[in-house]
Amino acid sequence: MNSIDAHIISLIIFLPLLASFVVALLPSLRVAKIVAFAASLATFIASLHLWFHFDPTSVDLQFVEQLPWMPELGVSYLVGVDGLNLLLILLSTFLTPLLLLSIWEFSGEGHKSLMALLLVLECGMIGALVAFDVVLFYIFWEVMLIPMYFIIGIWGGKNRIYATTKFVIYTVSGSLLMLVAAIALYFYHGEQAGFYSTSLLDLYKLAAAGGIPGEEYLFLAFLLAFAIKVPLWPFHTWLPHAHTEAPTVGSVILAGVLLKMGTYGLLRFAIPLFPQAVLLYAPSILALAVVGIVYGALTAWVQEDAKKMVAYSSVSHLGFVVLGSLAIVGNQLSAEALTGAVYQMINHGLSTGALFFLVGMIYERRHSRMFSDFGGLAEVMPYFALMLIIATLSSIGLPGTGGFVGEFLILLGVFQAQPLVAILATSGVILGALYMLTFCRKILFGPITHVANRQLVDLSRREYLYITPLIVLTVFMGVFPELFLSKIRSSVGHLASNFQHYHLKIAGVHPAASDAEPPVDESAVIQP
Amino acid sequence: MLGVILLSPLLGAVLNGFVVPKANKMLAHLLGVLAIGLSFGSALLLFQQFLAGGGEPSITYVFEWIQAGKLRVPVEFVVDRLSALLLLVVTGIGMLIHIYAGGYMREEKTTFRFFAYLNLFIFMMLLLILANNLLLMFVGWEGVGLCSYLLIGYWYSEGANADAGMKAFLTNRVGDFAFLIGIFMTYRLFGTLSFSELRAVVSSSASFDAYTLQQLTLITICFFGGACGKSAQLPLSIWLPDAMAGPTPVSALIHAATMVTAGIYMMTRLNFLFYLAPFTMEVVAWVGAGTALFAATIAAVQWDIKRVLAYSTVSQLGYMVLACGVGAFDAGVFHVLTHACFKALLFLGAGSVIVAMHHEQDMRKMGGLWRSLPITHALMLIGVLAIIGFPGLAGFFSKDEILWRAYLYPGSGHYLWAVGAFTALLTSFYMVRLLALTFYGKSRLDHHTGKHLHEISSIMWAPLIILALLSIGVGYLGVPGLLAIPGVKPHILADYLEPIFAVHQQVKETWAFAGAHHEPFWEALLMLVSVVLVFLGSSIALFSYARSSQPNLGPWPAPGARLYHLLSNKYWLDELYARFIYSPLGDIGEFLWRIFDIKIINGLLNGLGYTILGISGFASFKMSGSVHRHAIFMIAGMLALLYFLL
Amino acid sequence: MVPVEHYFVLALILFTIGVVGLVVRRHLIFVLMSIELMLNAVNLVFIAASRALGTLDGQIMVFFVITVAACEAAVGLAMVISLYRRYGTIATDFLRTLRG
């Protein structure tokens, strides 16, 4: 392993953090904008290194960096990449420059702070994605929360304080339970293995070795944290508020990456750590997911506010992802469904991100998101209409867009496990078309009823610049999904077939060596 | 070769959509026609090579599309007898309609958009036809649906058009839902989605266990559900008449000649599954016959020239589905072929009338047009004669083949024949009615329109002449053995398609009645009956609408008044859906959102929040906020701690 | 040689003065000064103990405390100034936003 591979992840995590400090302190806004954008672009390019050097044939953890952090407590800085998080990392690094571009001509107060917070957020997201230590994960998980709190609370709409408080209280109450469960895991590991460790790899071994007592409760604690984040029905009521009140960038990143943390956590923590509990609870969770799919779709359909509609559509779409994560066939997870779930996370990030961007564009022009204020925009904003239609189609899951590949694989896999569930969920495909086309119809088609809409200008060059990559990628992922699927196949297959005795090792390290306790740091520490 | 056929329309769409200057209408048209012309030329070459090569199917692998778990879906195209033929139909008719559209859309501002969609449609349709697996076919299947949606709503500033597009898309989605379930079940049962592999599995064995057969029945029912959506069969037929909101060339190409026959194409492609599911076949046959009759009755009372044609399309599609249901897939394909020619001709002819009348579609305001529009009249006449099954024209051969094969179907065959024959009577009635109302009788034009009436330009009628010739000639591909026409081999098409029907020999024999070699007497008699019915229907129509100088342009008189009411309201099917599905769903959505989401879930959680707030409020009632007091409490606390620890 | 207990007593007196000052004074500057006084009382204990025990640990601690105290003074004064700018007063009686 060369030195780039050994440190690339730390670079990707901390470059945005560093940049955020610089951005916040720079006196000149112009320079700050350039620095922020350049840093996020550099992060993206660095993350491309992962893409090109990732070994898709291996199920091991790659690009690992492991440093002792709190050795007495067995906490280490352990980060790595496998097929489950690779694409999500890329999604985060891909979205951030676009976000910064979208606020390039931000007119409100605190432009610099907003950029700095977005960069901190990026650091938190990537950190949480690559962390393979429970404590590290928890810290990054909370790091994501803080910038989001401010983004909604400062730059949000009228009801922003209510929305952001609700968002934080919801998320924190879930994650505190997760913390308790993590501590319980930690002590149990100490008891069983003889040494304390919060490394996920060690915990996997423990789970594979014979299950964890009380795992059904621990699973529920983890599940709650993730279910709130996803959000799984009925824990979703914070989402419409957060989305409607958040500024466009907030909504985009929330829908694009933050929600995926819930489903990712499910795959990374809840399923491999507590397989017996998964078997026990999977039917109920599937039921909740299906309810969420139909419920989200129906509520999305009757919304009058474009952003709220997209928010509810997320509830529906994320239901598919949860469904795909828990399709149990025999004693395995369905690999098709799991692949679809991982793929759909990315797709949803792109298409819903694009939808939020597009809604933001008309909001900027008209300061309204009510359907009743629009209609007939296709005539005055043809390219906007084109982009909106493509984003919508991807959201509907039309073949040729990424959304189809994800949804199809999920439903195909779930059908092998639970035909009835799959049939019910497939009805979400009809309902999805129903609300999404209604959305297009209300905004784009029909006669222009408001005089103000006649004067609207089509996309500016900058708007093109940040929306086109999303749209192009959406279509690209529908036409050449294999390019992406091949990267995740091994890891997904590994999890799917071995979820009851999951294990993960660091690439290039022999299992025996990684078993050894991390060296204890003996430098002087003041005893309390 | 295949690459050119597929990619040239796609390229045309992209160029027209993004590159061509918006104002250059000529260029847009030229590019559109060129793209499809290239495609058609290559298709012709391909067909020739294909025939020269003995008609053996060939599979072209392009790239790996999706691979996950055990699922493997490559992008793979198959050229066999069925797809090669349909390739010609789609590109050929498509090209003629593209040429025509240039004239029809002359006054439009955004023709580039129109031709981009149209080219994209051709690409998707070709994808559908050439796909070698269910999923890739589904891509084309949904893709044509998308183009149909976009083209129906082409004039989107009119709310109703956009709604019609949405209705089409959603109704199709219901069918697609069934199609998807069918795909899932197929994968579960066979572990593959590839046509060639499925076919190999199914045709290798003569008998299957009960579970497989039961699954096959479910699978085929699901696939038929998909076909119902796309081919506008009951109960999903409601979208097609509304789809006439699109420009007329679109109606001709998508909603008559090509896309709507995709359902029949799909069933024919999967014939080996359908042959193993007799129950499904029975359902298919009856749905087809029912739809044929249902739509024909409605067509008889329509006043909008395009709506008559739309219902007639639904009805003709019913015939094709009926053919599939009785196992006569070759007859179904034959009717697809002939119908594509004469229905495109009829639609384009109607389009010419509409253009000449300055976008007036109500037949009550026409009449006596044959004098001012002689060419259009002649062409329409050929089209009408072809569709009603006038002996010697295309429709006669294909419809008769279907009726005869339905008659031979064991069990309910005779009833199916009766329904079909009665529909034939209705067909001749409403088609001749259309002709009479439009071209004959006294002119009911208003003064202004009458003065500006003009025959269409050559760019529009030239393609029509080709279509008219085809409407006469294509029928001779399927001359029944009974009518030995010198120089024309009987059953050319059926023989050509024979290798497509790949089931085990034993299964085939149970469907052997499908061969038309018994009972020449009955065949001749039935043929005679249908010819008589055609004349009967035509005469009634001519008598009521052409001869009298004051034809009845309102509801039917007393005994038929209630029937007229029922028919002109289309059996209230739309209202039924609106009342029992659409609006309840909306109500549920409203309820879930306003009551359940906001009041119950959110209310419960807020209640929890307020409870905690109350408790903490109680705890903090002594908190004055004074820094001093905080400090005192802090110090007292520390002292207490110190006391306990020491 | 002054016995080490004397230093401790002095430190205790200083610390008590600091505590009382913290509690009774109304002016934020005085509050800050009281805190400084308390810190220095602790420093005194460290130094005295270090001298008496003959180790360096206590003196090292003192450096830490001084550093922290400097930071605290800087941040504290900055906050006092911004509070003054915002509310026009730094009398603690009026700063009651923490009220429950």
The verdict on a CB contact (< 8 Å) between B176 and A237 is no
pLDDT value of position C100: 47
pLDDT value of position B517: 56
B470-497 as b/e, with b when 16 or more CB fall inside 10 Å? bbbebbbbbbbeeeeeeeeebbebbebb
**Closest CB to C23 among B620, B625, B632:** B632
Q: What angle do CA A503, A509, A514 make, to 5 degrees?
A: 65
Q: How confident is the model over C82-98, as pLDDT tens digits? A: 888 888 777 766 666 65
Comparing C-alpha atoms, which of B144, B10, B36, B8 is closest to residue B98?
A: B36
Whether the pLDDT of residue A310 is over 80: the answer is yes
| B526 vs A130, more confident | A130
Q: How far apart are CA B588 and CA C18, in angstroms?
A: 68
Query: Would you say A394 and A355 are in contact if contact means Cβ atoms under 8 Å apart?
Result: no
Digits of tens for pLDDT over chain C (100 positions)? 788 889 999 999 999 999 888 888 878 888 889 989 999 999 999 999 998 888 888 899 999 999 999 999 999 999 888 888 888 777 766 666 655 4
Is the alpha carbon torsion for B620, B626, B627, B630 positive or negative?
Answer: negative
Name the most confidently modeled range: B299-303, B439-443, B544-548.
Answer: B299-303
Q: Which residues between 47 and 76 in chain B have a beta carbon less than 8 angstroms from any beta carbon of chain A? A: 63-71
Q: How far is CA A450 from CA A162, A361, A375, A446, B49, in A?
A: 32, 17, 8, 12, 59
B contact chains, 3+ CB pairs < 8 A: A, C
Coil vs helix vs strand at B199? helix
Q: How far apart are CA A336 and CA A327, in angstroms?
A: 9
Q: What is the mean pLDDT of chain A?
A: 86
Q: How many domains does chain A have?
A: 1
- Percent of the residues in chain A that have a pLDDT greater than 90, as a whole number: 26
CB-based contact, A433 to chain B, within 8 Å: yes
Q: How confident is the model over A335-368, as pLDDT tens digits? A: 899 999 999 999 999 999 999 999 988 888 888 8
**Range of weakest confidence among A55-59, A506-510, B256-260, C63-67:** A506-510
ipTM here: 0.88
Assess if residue A528 is contained within a domain: no
A386-403 as b/e, with b when 16 or more CB fall inside 10 Å? bbbbbbbbbbbbbbbbbb
Q: How far is CA B541 from CA A527, B436, B531, B562, B569, in A?
A: 106, 8, 16, 20, 21
Q: What angle do CA A127, A131, A132 make, to 5 degrees?
A: 180
Q: How confident is the model over B549-604, as pLDDT tens digits? A: 677 777 777 777 788 777 777 787 878 887 887 788 878 878 777 777 777 777 77
pLDDT value of position A526: 40
DSSP secondary structure letters along B282-296: HHHHHHHHHHHHHHH
Q: How far apart are CA B559 and CA B551, in angstroms?
A: 18
**Range of weakest confidence among A441-450, B460-469, B579-588:** B579-588
Specify the DSSP class assigned to residue A108.
S
Q: How confident is the model over B21-60, as pLDDT tens digits? A: 776 778 888 888 888 899 999 999 988 888 888 888 888 8
A257: domain range? 3-511
Query: Would you say B142 and B136 are in contact if contact means Cβ atoms under 8 Å apart?
Result: no
Q: How far apart are CA A122 and CA C68, in angstroms?
A: 32
pLDDT value of position A91: 93
Strand B71-79 and strand A332-333: the pairing is unpaired
Q: How far is B27 from chain A (nearest CA, A)?
A: 20
The verdict on a CB contact (< 8 Å) between A303 and B593 is yes
Specify the DSSP class assigned to residue B487.
T
In whole angstroms, what separates CA B30 from the centre of its chain?
27
Neighbours of B303 (CB within 10 A): 16
pLDDT value of position A40: 92
Whether the pLDDT of residue A514 is over 70: the answer is no
Q: Whose structure tokens read 């599905």?
A: B581
Coil vs helix vs strand at B64? strand
Q: What angle do CA B17, B22, B23 make, to 5 degrees?
A: 150
Q: Which residues are CB-contacts of B204 (< 8 A; sequence separation ≥ 6)?
A: B504
Coil vs helix vs strand at B548? coil
- Percent of the residues in chain B that have a pLDDT greater than 70, as a whole number: 96
Whether the pLDDT of residue B545 is over 70: the answer is yes
Q: Best of B621, B624, B628 to disrupt the C interface by mutation (most C CBs within 10 Å)?
A: B628
pLDDT value of position A1: 53
Q: How confident is the model over A258-303, as pLDDT tens digits? A: 999 999 999 998 888 888 888 889 899 999 999 999 888 888 888 8
Give B548's pLDDT tier (boundaries 50, 70, 90): low
The verdict on a CB contact (< 8 Å) between B623 and C98 is yes
Whether the pLDDT of residue A525 is over 50: the answer is no
- Percent of the residues in chain B that have a pLDDT greater than 90, as a whole number: 14
pTM equals 0.86
Assess if residue A516 is contained within a domain: no
Could you tell me the two tokens for B145?
């649906």
Whether the pLDDT of residue A510 is over 60: the answer is no
Give A521's pLDDT tier (boundaries 50, 70, 90): very low
Residue of C nearest to B621 (CA): C100
For chain B, the residues whose C-beta falls within 8 A of a C-beta of chain C are 616-617, 619-628, 630-632, 635
The verdict on a CB contact (< 8 Å) between B624 and C99 is yes
Q: Whose structure tokens read 């400097």?
A: C70
Query: Would you say B198 and B190 are in contact if contact means Cβ atoms under 8 Å apart?
Result: yes
CB-based contact, B311 to chain A, within 8 Å: no
Helix spans in B300-393 (H): 305-325, 329-356, 374-388
With helix as H, strand as E and coil as C, how does A111-172 read?
Answer: HHHHHHHHHHHHHHHHHHHHECEHHHHHHHHHHHHHHHHHHHHHHCCCCHHHHHHHHHHHHH
Assess if residue A144 is contained within a domain: yes
Specify the DSSP class assigned to residue B512.
G
| Overall CATH class of domain C4-90 | mainly alpha
Q: How confident is the model over B3-13, as pLDDT tens digits? A: 888 888 888 88
Give the mean model confidence (pLDDT) for residues B351-371.
81
Q: How far apart are CA A445 and CA A433, in angstroms?
A: 16
Query: Would you say B81 and B129 are in contact if contact means Cβ atoms under 8 Å apart?
Result: no
Q: Best of B156, B193, B214, B606 to disrupt the A interface by mutation (most A CBs within 10 Å)?
A: B156
Q: How confident is the model over B77-105, as pLDDT tens digits? A: 998 888 888 999 999 999 988 888 888 87
Q: How far is CA C18 from CA A434, A444, C84, in A?
A: 71, 71, 23
Q: What angle do CA A188, A190, A194 make, to 5 degrees?
A: 130
Q: How far apart are CA B148 and CA B232, in angstroms?
A: 13
